[in-house]
Structure 1
Amino acid sequence: MTDHWNVFLDQQGARRDGDGLLLGFAEASPTPAVPLLAVMAQSQVLALRGADAATFLQGQVTADVRLLSEQRPLPTMHLSLKGRGLFSARLLPAAEGGVDLLLPTAQSADDAKRMLGKYMVFSKATLTDDPRVVLMLVDDTPDTLEHSLHQARLPQPLPDHVVVEGDITVARLDGRRTLVILPAEAAMERWPMLVEARTPCADDGARLASIVAGDGELLPGAEDLFLPQALNFDVSEGVSFRKGCYTGQEIVARMHFKGEMKQRMQRYRWPDATRLPAPGAVVRSDAGRALGEVVMAVAADDAVEALVVVRLSHDGDLHLEPWGALQATPQPLPYPLPEK
């Protein structure tokens, strides 16, 4: 991210930690009920380009990359041989058959470059850092979104679609969340129109919106833990069971066609936002039995909002060491889970 973009954010009231990491723009944590403009400073876009870009990626990730030709944004994972996710990404179509990969952190992006680079040597494809700014607009009504995109002279994709105009990408992930990826200069120019009806925040606001949407992502610390179905990627077209081979595909397909998922990602809320569990933290039952792991958690309204993979048979509170019982209450997901 460019220095002048950081200076601009500081002028807007940015708060940072001792290492300069963006924390937000106000003392209060984001809330699910307020429209947000989230500066996703921790995220990184990787540009996959070349004649073999889409073909190469098709053999490396869980989603069917061919759906990008329909201008669709796709969640996906790259798996270990055990079928567990090593990193997750949002795939976005780019010009001339290229693909943009949106990774949740810089470490995730470094991991993706390292892992995919091992298989890329014989392909006509390159994977490089994209310096553009990543914003997420979180809105409560389509009218708010359409008005601000029009005011900011940005394209207006349909829900679950992407529009690319030059070096600007706009992707509507669902009815509430819209990604805007653009150069820093363009982001600064459009900031007043985008922030007019929204509260500015950092990555935690975008993650809160994703938690409400039941849209989990693999963060550092949770690598090699989850099958894609455990994070409900089979609900969101994040995994294809008929597209052909990719690393870990056999195990994922066997679970889908012959097995039965005993754990699924669920949304929970509990009090005391002063303590946030790390991704991959083990949750337990009252009796101390391991139930699953935390996927992602953020502070919101003096509470914790989280996505947690738990046993489907579990009924009761969640426990986390060393805090004990969380007083966690299940929250609704905006989609039904598969019966199997």
Structure 2
Amino acid sequence: MTQVSDTPILPQFAQLTIQGEDAEKFLQGQLTCDVTKLGLSYQAAAIGNLKGRIEFGIWIKKQAEKQYDVVISADCAASLQSHLKKFGAFSKFDTSEPIAIYPCVLADEPTFSHKEDHNTPKDTQAWMQCSLATGNYWIVAATQGEFQPQELRLHQRGGMDYDKGCYLGQEVIARIYFKSAPKAFLHYVKGSSVKGTGAAPTAGDKLDKIQVVNALTTAEGFEALVVARPEHLAESELTVLDLPPALQADVARAK
């Protein structure tokens, strides 16, 4: 049974800084993206689990030599800290305590800022709307371990590199990419309020055979990013909206 909340809960985010002699090497063995190619702009990426599913959905940038800033949903920050401590026990780097960082939209792109004047519900709502429209999903505690990166089109956003070498979950992820393709994958949709409550579904909810990644209440109902098979969407009452052209491409590997 789908559960909904009458009061929308706005997402909150935290930033951790990872820096030290082994920071790049360590992160290269953890992240789906190629850490050596990172710059000063946030890149969506992921840390997978051994089943090839996203345990931590993050945004990362190289702030300085041997220093990386990582943004994650605030409710996942403590578990990410534990993960880094466990897997980085024998590597030379330090991880800062998480600090608040605020979602906002700059130059029509969803991003993050430390400026307190961006710490407003209006900024967060604008970020959510822009993120849904651009496929900029966010993983929260309720959806950790739920999705395979290709299902969320992370490879179409520069967040995966199939030539960089090994990382957590790489064998499963690469096998799906080279030998098959997800049957269910990311779509941007709109729909009516759930059961007339006026509320949007929440992350991880199931709408029959369609799984919600993120959702936002609107005046007409809700908009959401969902993972679903196209045929199941066609059978539903949801309306499919356009994602950016790069995310409209087939999720399968081009042959």
TM-score between both structures, scaled by the size of structure 1: 0.65
Counterpart in the other structure of 1:316? 234
Counterpart in the other structure of 1:277? 201
Using the TM superposition, give the Cα deviation of residue 313 of structure 1 relative to its aligned residue in structure 2, in angstroms.
3.4
Counterpart in the other structure of 1:54? 24
How many percent identity over aligned positions?
A: 27
8 Å Cα contact 2:110-2:130 kept in structure 1: no
8 Å Cα contact 1:64-1:243 kept in structure 2: yes
Counterpart in the other structure of 1:223? 144
Paired residue type of 1:108: C
Distance in 2 (CA, whole Å) between partners of 1:334 and 1:250 is 29
Q: Deviations over 1:121-157 (max 9, x none)?
A: 101111122435424125xxxxxx5xxxxxxxxxxxx
Q: What SS does the corresponding residue of 1:242 show, helix, strand or coil?
A: coil
8 Å Cα contact 2:186-2:225 kept in structure 1: yes
TM-score between both structures, scaled by the size of structure 2: 0.85
Cα gap change, 1:180 to 1:203, in 2 (>3 Å): closer
Using the TM superposition, give the Cα deviation of residue 178 of structure 1 relative to its aligned residue in structure 2, in angstroms.
5.0
Cα gap change, 1:107 to 1:52, in 2 (>3 Å): same
8 Å Cα contact 1:219-1:296 kept in structure 2: no
Using the TM superposition, give the Cα deviation of residue 83 of structure 1 relative to its aligned residue in structure 2, in angstroms.
0.3
Structure index of larger Rg: 1
Using the TM superposition, give the Cα deviation of residue 339 of structure 1 relative to its aligned residue in structure 2, in angstroms.
5.4
8 Å Cα contact 2:13-2:100 kept in structure 1: no
Counterpart in the other structure of 1:73? 42
1:87 paired with 2:56, answer yes
8 Å Cα contact 1:267-1:308 kept in structure 2: yes
1:103 paired with 2:82, answer no
Using the TM superposition, give the Cα deviation of residue 100 of structure 1 relative to its aligned residue in structure 2, in angstroms.
0.5
8 Å Cα contact 1:229-1:264 kept in structure 2: yes
8 Å Cα contact 2:211-2:228 kept in structure 1: yes
Q: What SS does the corresponding residue of 1:88 show, helix, strand or coil?
A: strand
Distance in 2 (CA, whole Å) between partners of 1:223 and 1:102 is 15
Distance in 1 (CA, whole Å) between partners of 2:101 and 2:169 is 32
Using the TM superposition, give the Cα deviation of residue 307 of structure 1 relative to its aligned residue in structure 2, in angstroms.
0.3
- Any stretches of 5+ residues in structure 2 without a counterpart? 1-6
Counterpart in the other structure of 1:164? none
Using the TM superposition, give the Cα deviation of residue 254 of structure 1 relative to its aligned residue in structure 2, in angstroms.
0.4
8 Å Cα contact 1:221-1:278 kept in structure 2: no
1:258 paired with 2:227, answer no
1:181 paired with 2:113, answer yes
Matches within 5 A, 1:79-158: 79-104=48-73, 106-131=74-99, 133-138=101-106, 145=107
Counterpart in the other structure of 1:162? none
1:237 paired with 2:161, answer no
Q: In structure 2, which of residues 213, 216, 219 is the aligned counterpart of residue 295 of structure 1?
A: 213
Distance in 1 (CA, whole Å) between partners of 2:207 and 2:100 is 37
Using the TM superposition, give the Cα deviation of residue 116 of structure 1 relative to its aligned residue in structure 2, in angstroms.
1.9
Counterpart in the other structure of 2:4? none
Counterpart in the other structure of 2:3? none
Cα gap change, 1:95 to 1:315, in 2 (>3 Å): closer
Q: In structure 1, which of residues 17, 41, 64 is the aligned counterpart of residue 34 of structure 2?
A: 64
Aligned alpha-carbon RMSD (Å): 2.5
- The higher-RCO structure (CA 8 Å, 6+ apart) is 2
